[in-house]
Amino acid sequence: MSPAPPADRPLSPELVQHYRDVVRIHADDPVIGACPVCLRSRCRDWRYAREALISAGEFAAGPEDADAEPR
């Protein structure tokens, strides 16, 4: 994937929804402790989509993001 969009460039609503879907789909499964798609904890797709949402001011962090640094 390419670098996340710059913060001064807003994301379209469709792209925001896409990135939210990617974050949801690639979120670590607590049973296996990794992304159920990639089988890696905090996989590349999850990190990219999350960073894009954060950069655009569209990411609402939850309690699971207390340690927000990618692994």
Where in the chain are the domains? 13-59
pLDDT score, position 51: 94
| CA–CA separation, 26 and 11 (whole Å) | 20
Say whether pTM exceeds 0.85: no
Q: pLDDT for 7-25, tens place per residue?
A: 567 899 999 999 999 999 9
Q: pLDDT for 28-42, tens place per residue?
A: 999 999 999 999 999
| CA–CA separation, 50 and 34 (whole Å) | 16
Cβ 58 vs Cβ 17: under 8 Å: no
Is the pLDDT reported for residue 27 higher than 50? yes
Is the pLDDT reported for residue 26 higher than 80? yes
